[in-house]
Amino acid sequence: MGSSKKTCRELARTSKLTRKSPVHSKVFVRESTGLTKRVSLFDAVAINVSYMSVGPALALVGYTMLALPTVSGVNLVLGSAIAALLAVPQAIVYTMLSRRVSRTGGDYVWISRSLGGFVGSIMTFTGITLETMPYLALIALSTVFAIGSVGVALGYSNMLGLALPGNVLGGDPLSQFLLASSLLIILIAINIIRPRLGFKIISMFWVIGIIAMGVATLALLQAGRAGVERYVDGLRVANLTYASVANSYSGPTFDLRSTLLMMPYFALFTYPWFNAAPSVGSELQGNAPRWNVPISLAVAFLIVTIPFAAMYYAAGFQFTTAAFANSALVYDHSFNFWTLAMGVSGSFAEEFLIGLGWVVLTVAILAFGIITISRYMLAQAFDRFLPSKLAYVSPRYGSPIVAHLVDLAVTVFLIGLAAFLYGTISSLYGVLVASMAYFALVGVGAVVYAFTKEKGWTKVLLATAGVLQTLVFAYLTYGFLEYPNIWGGNSLAYGYIAVSLVLSVVIYGVASYVRAREGMRISLAFKEIPPE
What residue numbers bound the domain in which 161 lies?
53-527
Task: With beta carbons less than 8 A apart as the criterion, state whether 96 and 461 touch.
Answer: yes
pLDDT score recorded for residue 423 = 54
3-state DSSP assignment of residue 397:
coil
Tell me the sheet residues that pair with 39.
Answer: 284
Task: Please give the single-letter amino acid code of residue 329.
Answer: L
How is 196-259 classified by DSSP, letter by letter? HHHHHHHHHHHHHHHHHHHHHHHHHHHHHHHHHHHHHHHT-BTTB-HHHHHHT--S-S--HHHH
Q: Is residue 9 part of a domain?
A: no
Q: What is the largest CA-CA distance in the chain?
A: 100
In whole angstroms, give the CA distance from residue 312 to residue 335.
14
Please, where are the H alpha helices in 116-172? 117-124, 132-153, 160-163
Q: Is residue 379 part of a domain?
A: yes
3-state secondary structure 274-331: HHCCCCEHHHECCCHHHHHHHHHHHHHHHHHHHHHHHHHHHHCHHHHHHHHCCHHHHH
Nearest Cα neighbor of 399 from 139, 204, 135, 199 is 199
> How far is C-alpha 396 from the geometric centre of its chain's CA atoms?
29
pLDDT score recorded for residue 310 = 97
3-state DSSP assignment of residue 417:
helix
Which residues have a Cβ under 8 Å from the Cβ of 71 and sit 6 or more positions away? 65, 249, 251, 258, 321, 322, 324, 325
In whole angstroms, give the CA distance from residue 496 to residue 505.
14
Q: For residue 222, what is the domain's CATH number?
A: 1.20.1740.10
Q: Is residue 8 part of a domain?
A: no
Q: Is residue 103 part of a domain?
A: yes
CA-CA-CA-CA torsion for 465, 471, 472, 476, nearest 10 degrees?
A: 160
pLDDT score recorded for residue 5 = 43
Task: With beta carbons less than 8 A apart as the criterion, state whether 175 and 161 touch.
Answer: yes
How is 442-481 classified by DSSP, letter by letter? HHHHHHHHHHHH--HHHHHHHHHHHHHHHHHHHHHHHHHH
**Dihedrals phi, psi of 104, to nearest 5 degrees:** -60, 130
3-state DSSP assignment of residue 104:
strand
Q: Is residue 208 part of a domain?
A: yes
Task: Please give the single-letter amino acid code of residue 367.
Answer: A
Query: What is the DSSP code (8-state) at residue 125?
Result: I
| pLDDT per residue rounded down to tens, the chain (532 residues) | 444 444 444 434 433 333 343 444 467 665 666 666 677 888 888 888 888 888 889 998 998 899 899 999 999 999 999 999 999 999 999 999 998 888 878 899 989 999 999 999 999 999 988 888 888 888 888 888 889 889 888 888 888 888 776 666 677 888 889 999 999 999 999 888 887 777 788 888 888 999 999 999 999 999 999 999 999 999 887 789 999 999 999 999 999 999 999 999 999 888 888 888 888 877 788 888 889 999 999 999 999 999 999 999 999 999 999 999 999 998 888 899 999 999 999 789 999 999 999 999 888 888 878 888 888 888 888 888 888 888 888 888 777 888 888 888 988 988 888 777 655 556 667 888 999 999 999 999 999 999 999 999 999 999 999 999 999 999 999 999 998 888 877 887 888 899 999 999 999 999 999 888 888 888 888 888 887 6
pLDDT score recorded for residue 20 = 41
Task: With beta carbons less than 8 A apart as the criterion, state whether 203 and 195 touch.
Answer: no
Q: Is residue 183 part of a domain?
A: yes
Q: Is residue 42 part of a domain?
A: no
pTM here is 0.86
417 CB-contact burial (10 Å; exposed 0-12 / middle 13-18 / buried 19+): middle
List C-alpha distances in Å: 377 to 121, 385, 435.
Answer: 11, 9, 16
Q: Would residue 489 be called left, alpha or beta, if left means φ above 0 and alpha means ψ between -120 and 50 degrees?
A: beta
Nearest Cα neighbor of 196 from 36, 372, 44, 359 is 36
Which residues have a Cβ under 8 Å from the Cβ of 179 and sit 6 or more positions away? 144, 147, 162
Domain count, the chain: 1
pLDDT score recorded for residue 464 = 98
pLDDT score recorded for residue 149 = 86
Q: Is residue 388 part of a domain?
A: yes
In whole angstroms, give the CA distance from residue 89 to residue 497.
26
